[in-house]
């Protein structure tokens, strides 16, 4: 198979990853970091190294470290999420959330110019998202049954070598997101009614800027700032099973109703500091620390396009603003890589992600808590210009005891996630 055919296949894969739905459980809140198996297997610590095409996301300044020529990285993540709820109320049964399984593709392309000073790149990843689902007859039926946030981020990046030891980089992020939520409401004499909200925003925009400083041949430091991104979701709200009192009194006896809605959602800003230490040709040790401004995510609310909807008691209650009370977080990761032979590397790491969610006003659509990740992986050079990387991550969430003002959702929440990730990188 010649290079032209290989290039077409890799490019086709990249295009498919752009249009495929990508969904993920967040790495603290609804932030996801399933981008590169090399980085994942080293405790998500890569801002100080960033020497693969995924530097487009992790640290664009690192693109200047690539060899002259073009580089393509293509892969995917298979993720599984499990949740369980134990009620603190006497007589209420435990509930297990539906096991959620997602496939999340990623694609990167980088071009290192002949002048050895400038490198360009672009990529498509899923860096935000979530997926939770509780039974429609469970304790959660009036709060959150099913919530899916599907996200794709297209990135265009550039890295410039300012001096032999210092590089600057910038990336422009184009966010495409959609969110679906379903929940029930008490329809009094008519039993439970159903609510489904759907919204999307295909033109969210942000940026990230970075620097990479090589102290010497063994030590280098990376710094990355990511801007906040404001998503303006637009879609529809659907209600059905409007029998009984609510249907007769509020909707003129209709059994279903739909209306146009909008909602704002913020992706918070962050700062990441990374350090990479290479004591020998075979060993590398990375460490990252990240601050994320979750406290800027203040509330969740639905707005109606039709002003008459605000005078409807049920719709007014559905659209009421909910305070989230998120708090800023500082997460960290550390990892190591050891080259067993010239073509085979082993990797492992650890990461800690504190949750931005408080114990009160607990959002069941997120159900997040502090978590620890144990990561392992490997890298194999199949040929001089083709390599394969693999990672496995176990994410263990601390049991979260919630003392909410609503006794129906007070209790202990347990979550477990695991995922495997693989990618091929072709240099040509």
Q: Higher confidence at residue 194 or residue 425?
A: 425
Q: Quick check: 334 and 357 in contact, CB under 8 A?
A: no
Q: How far apart are CA 30 and CA 268, in angstroms?
A: 10
> Is the pTM above the cut of 0.85?
yes
Structure tokens at 351: 């990461």
- Domain spans in the chain, listed from the N-terminal domain onward: 3-427
Q: How far apart are CA 243 and CA 318, in angstroms?
A: 18
Q: Quick check: 380 and 386 in contact, CB under 8 A?
A: no
Element (H or E) spanning 330, and its range? strand 329-339
Q: How far apart are CA 330 and CA 272, in angstroms?
A: 10
Nearest to 43 by CA among 297, 315, 288: 288
| Residue 32 predicted with pLDDT over 50 | yes
| Residue 201 predicted with pLDDT over 80 | yes
Nearest to 204 by CA among 281, 267, 117, 259: 267
**Fold held by 3-427:** Porin (2.40.160)
Distances (CA, A) of 143 to 36, 184, 366: 35, 8, 11
DSSP secondary structure string for all residues of 372-408:
EEEEEEEEEE-SSSEEEEEEEEEEEEPPEEE--SSTT
pLDDT band at 102 (very low <50, low <70, confident <90, very high): confident
pLDDT in tens, 346-398: 999 999 999 888 766 667 777 678 999 999 999 999 999 999 999 999 999 88
pLDDT at 143: 80
pLDDT (mean) for 258-277: 92
pLDDT at 320: 65
Q: Higher confidence at residue 1 or residue 85?
A: 85
| Residue 53 predicted with pLDDT over 70 | yes
Q: How far apart are CA 145 and CA 188, in angstroms?
A: 19
pLDDT band at 16 (very low <50, low <70, confident <90, very high): very low
Nearest to 113 by CA among 68, 158, 72: 68
pLDDT band at 189 (very low <50, low <70, confident <90, very high): low
pLDDT at 1: 45
| Residue 146 predicted with pLDDT over 70 | yes
Most confident range, picked from 7-21, 119-133, 400-414: 119-133
What is the sign of the dihedral through the CA atoms of 20, 25, 31 and 32? negative
pLDDT at 315: 77
pLDDT at 383: 95
């Amino acid at each position: 198979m010649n290079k032209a055919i290989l290039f077409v296949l890799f490019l086709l894969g990249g295009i498919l990853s752009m249009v495929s739905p990508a969904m993920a459980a967040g790495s603290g809140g609804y932030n996801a970091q399933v981008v590169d198996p090399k980085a994942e297997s080293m405790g998500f610590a890569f801002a100080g190294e960033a020497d693969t095409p995924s530097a487009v996301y992790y640290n664009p300044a690192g693109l200047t470290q690539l060899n002259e020529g073009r580089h393509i990285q293509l892969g995917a993540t298979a993720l599984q999420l499990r949740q369980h709820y134990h009620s603190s109320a006497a007589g209420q049964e435990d509930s297990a959330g539906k096991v959620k399984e997602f496939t999340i593709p990623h694609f990167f392309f980088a071009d290192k110019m002949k002048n050895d000073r400038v490198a360009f790149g672009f990529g498509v990843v899923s860096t935000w998202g979530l997926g939770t689902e509780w039974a429609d007859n469970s304790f959660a039926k009036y709060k959150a049954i099913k919530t899916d946030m599907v996200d794709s981020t297209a990135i265009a990046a550039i890295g410039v070598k300012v001096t032999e030891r210092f590089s600057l980089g910038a990336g422009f992020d184009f966010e495409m997101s959609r969110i679906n939520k379903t929940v029930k409401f008490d329809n009094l004499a008519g039993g439970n009614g159903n609510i489904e909200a759907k919204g999307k925003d295909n033109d969210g925009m942000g940026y990230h800027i970075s620097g990479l400083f090589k102290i010497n041949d063994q030590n280098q430091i990376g710094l990355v700032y990511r801007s906040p991104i404001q998503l303006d979701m637009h879609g529809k709200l659907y209600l059905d099973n409007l029998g009984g009192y609510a249907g007769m009194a509020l909707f003129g006896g209709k059994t279903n109703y739909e209306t146009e809605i909008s909602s704002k959602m913020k992706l918070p800003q962050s700062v990441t500091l990374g350090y990479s230490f290479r004591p020998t040709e075979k060993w590398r040790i990375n460490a990252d620390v990240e601050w994320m401004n979750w406290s800027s995510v203040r509330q969740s609310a639905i707005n109606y396009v039709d002003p008459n909807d605000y005078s409807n008691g049920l719709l007014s209650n559905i659209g009421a603003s909910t305070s989230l009370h998120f708090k800023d977080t500082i997460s960290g990761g550390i990892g190591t890589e050891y080259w067993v032979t010239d073509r085979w590397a082993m990797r492992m790491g650890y990461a800690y992600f504190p949750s931005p969610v408080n114990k009160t006003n607990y959002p069941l659509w997120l159900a997040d808590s502090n978590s620890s990740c144990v990561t392992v992986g490997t890298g194999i050079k199949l040929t001089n210009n083709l390599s394969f990387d693999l990672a496995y991550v176990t994410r263990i969430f601390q049991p979260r005891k919630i003392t909410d003002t609503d006794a129906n959702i007070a209790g202990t929440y347990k979550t477990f996630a695991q995922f495997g990730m693989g990618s091929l990188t072709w240099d040509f």
